[in-house]
A and B are shown apart, each in its own frame.
Chain A
Amino acid sequence: QKEVEQNSGPLSVPEGAIASLNCTYSDRGSQSFFWYRQYSGKSPELIMFIYSNGDKEDGRFTAQLNKASQYVSLLIRDSQPSDSATYLCAVSDSGTYKYIFGTGTRLKVLA
């Protein structure tokens, strides 16, 4: 059974700080990794994806991937109260199309 695990939180950080969200996955064959943000009662919104080891930056967001450790993370710099949401990690194998989602980490950015 392929699994994706996230700490459910809540993770509380002060405004302006760096929020660090983590995700581990069980399937070594996984190739693509996605971070989604979901506000309460809303649909998931794609933030970014990563498929190569290392860091990928997009604005205030940085995704980090370590395939050897089966670990992917999302850093949010200069956190804002509007970043308060649940962050979902999703993993996809390149040979398939299915996303396996973690249960999400709830982030609270305190003003």
Chain B
Amino acid sequence: NAGVMQNPRHLVRRRGQEARLRCSPMKGHSHVYWYRQLPEEGLKFMVYLQKENIIDESGMPKERFSAEFPKEGPSILRIQQVVRGDSAAYFCASSLQGAGQGVNEQFFGPGTRLTVL
């Protein structure tokens, strides 16, 4: 499967627990983006990462949320002490090109549906 992979596809957590969402970009892509989609709403940008670097995290809530994209392994979106309002679909996208490199087509993974009880 050469597409963007995300796991788990569904994640259930109780309030106060931690959620870890993983994303493996398409082969050859080094640019990863995380988006959140609330029910009946559009996709909202959260963070843009390249290998070992956070390029822009302006869409991330200031507290409880963090992201990384290590040299080896998938990108991780981590949500600490989850609350019910964190329930949403979290999508990861990857692109071959990044900022200032022309049209950066972003290809989306299947998403992780987080439910906080």
Q: Which residues of A does B touch, CB under 8 Å? A: 32, 34, 36, 42-46, 49, 51, 88, 90, 92, 94-104
Contact = CB atoms under 8 A, between A and B. Distances in A.
Contact of A44 (B56, B103, B108): B108
Contacts, number: 61
A43 B42 contact: no
B60 to A, nearest CB: 13
Contacts of B100: 94-95
B54 to A, nearest CB: 13
Nearest to B92: A43
A96 B109 CA distance: 21
A97 B48 contact: yes
Nearest to A32: B103
Among B33, B102, B103, residue most surrounded by chain A Cβ atoms (within 10 Å): B103
Given A96-B99, A99-B45, 11 more contacts: A32-B104, A46-B108, A49-B103, A49-B105, A90-B43, A97-B56, A97-B95, A97-B99, A98-B45, A98-B48, A99-B43
A97 B55 contact: yes
29 contacts: A34-B106, A36-B108, A43-B91, A43-B108, A43-B111, A44-B91, A44-B108, A46-B106, A49-B103, A49-B105, A88-B42, A88-B43, A90-B43, A94-B102, A96-B56, A96-B99, A97-B33, A97-B48, A97-B95, A97-B99, A98-B48, A98-B56, A98-B59, A99-B43, A99-B45, A101-B35, A101-B42, A101-B44, A103-B41
Contact of A46 (B42, B59, B107): B107
Nearest to B3: A43
Contacts of A98: 45, 48, 56, 59
B23 to A, nearest CB: 12
Closest 10 A-B residue pairs measured CB to CB? A103-B42, A101-B42, A101-B43, A43-B108, A97-B99, A44-B108, A98-B45, A32-B103, A43-B111, A43-B110
A14 to B, nearest CB: 26
A102 B48 CA distance: 19
A51 B55 contact: no
B74 interface: no
